[in-house]
Chain A
């Protein structure tokens, strides 16, 4: 068994777990015009930016020249999660603590700056820290170094599904005998180079009104909005957590599965349904046990249709409440899944399902019970968190409440 004992959130609509959760329940979003550079002519202008984060207030100055913004956010979220779980790393054995993070973008902004130097001034001007600051494993590495965590550690890359894969692998790592694993995901790619890649992906909303830009499962859905940030979790073996006097347990990571879609044009359905069924089986629960689904919610008709079909196939028509808070933050890539897990455990704690912000008129063809408008009171013991990534990644995590 692997339990969540600490969480750290850095999201466009809230720095810290409770500010984020208050924003979610109030329907307060963090999407707005991207202000870090001029997006005129790029075809899209909205993003979920983290506006009020000053890295120097949170991190030693020695770490700043060697870190991309995504790594700075990851380091701070990890610190907050460890603080939340009241982990004193000095009292634990270094090899008994691991780090597993998901990452989709690497250090885009850092690399953009260094490539600029390479192009305009020459290779001798490129920072030696570029050697790792760009790298998918950098968040795992920096967290490991900062907190002296030498246990089994890794990084998972599966586009926007990778954050859930990290949590799934962290659970496996705990089961294999590492008592404590810091896990989750944080991404950021809102510099001009990162933006070019987002736009090239072809899924961005061209809307200019933040409230109408990202409308998952809506009849008028035309795209989504990228954001930055994510969440880190402390995952522990329950016995080990109890032995060190853990202050609280948020819930259990009870099941996990990942599948791939068939090749485009094959005519076969998405692998998401299989991911859901395998994760439920892994958790030892049936569809009837699931109290809420946090959907991937792409906000693109074809993908919304596929996800609604997968949910209907498993749960029946409107068989389970479905929601997505992503329209408040934008899509956080590897950060999205872990942030949805945090949202799920907070929903459990407070017995409430936050609504899908933005979406007004769900397309009638999607036979799902989409929670809209006000938050819905609900007793939640089992939640299903879904994420999909470009190129066919499907991941699913089952979160279950734990008797305190």
Chain B
């Protein structure tokens, strides 16, 4: 099991609003910074909480405050998932 960019996109929209088909979210957002996408630190806390429920892994707080892009967040989640197996 691993998390894809599309799954993260869905979670972001569910947690903090936005539109999956909107130009700023629809394209390749993996390397775009969350700040540029319009998701602030609170949105990321909400996202981490949803990831924990959906994927059963906890993103450590100290790493969450440093994470800048979707790719980084997916890396942390999938790293945990791999380790959890």
Contacts and interface: CB of A to CB of B under 8 A. Distances in A.
Interface of A: 60-66, 124-125, 127-129, 131
Contacts of A64: 17
A61 B19 contact: yes
B17 A124 contact: no
A62 B49 contact: no
Secondary structure call for the B interface: helix
Given A65-B17, A124-B52, 4 more contacts: A60-B17, A61-B19, A62-B16, A128-B42
B46 interface: yes
A388 to B, nearest CB: 37
Contacts of B45: 128
Most chain A beta-carbon contacts within 10 A, residue among B14, B17, B18, B19? B17
17 contacts: A60-B17, A61-B17, A61-B18, A62-B16, A62-B17, A62-B38, A63-B17, A65-B16, A65-B46, A66-B16, A66-B42, A124-B52, A125-B53, A127-B46, A128-B42, A128-B46, A129-B46
Contact of A124 (B18, B38, B42, B49): B49
A65 B15 CA distance: 7
Pick the 3 closest A-B CB pairs, nearest first: A62-B17, A128-B46, A61-B17
Contact of A128 (B38, B49, B53): B49
A65 B42 CA distance: 12
Nearest to B41: A128
B42 to A, nearest CB: 6
A62 B42 CA distance: 12
Nearest to A67: B17
Which of A62, A63, A124, A125 has the most chain B CB atoms closer than 10 A to its own CB? Answer: A62
Nearest to A60: B17
A125 B53 CA distance: 8
Contacts of B38: 62
Contact of A129 (B19, B42, B53): B42
A48 B1 CA distance: 50
A63 B45 CA distance: 16
Contacts of B17: 60-66
A66 to B, nearest CB: 7
A65 B52 CA distance: 19
B67 to A, nearest CB: 16
Nearest to A122: B53
Interface in B34-85: 38, 42, 45-46, 49, 52-53
Contacts of B49: 124, 128
Contacts of A60: 17
B16 to A, nearest CB: 6
A55 to B, nearest CB: 11
Contacts of A61: 17-19
Contacts of A65: 14-17, 46
A328 B19 CA distance: 38
Contacts of B16: 62, 65-66
B38 to A, nearest CB: 6
A71 to B, nearest CB: 14
A298 to B, nearest CB: 40
A62 B46 contact: no
A65 B14 CA distance: 8
Nearest to A131: B42
Nearest to B22: A61
B53 A124 contact: yes
Contacts of A124: 49, 52-53
A129 B40 CA distance: 12
A220 B45 CA distance: 54
Contacts of A127: 46
A62 B53 contact: no
Contacts of A66: 16-17, 42
B53 to A, nearest CB: 6
A124 B59 CA distance: 13
B41 to A, nearest CB: 10
Contacts of A125: 53
A249 B13 CA distance: 42
A144 B38 CA distance: 18
A61 B15 CA distance: 11
A129 to B, nearest CB: 7
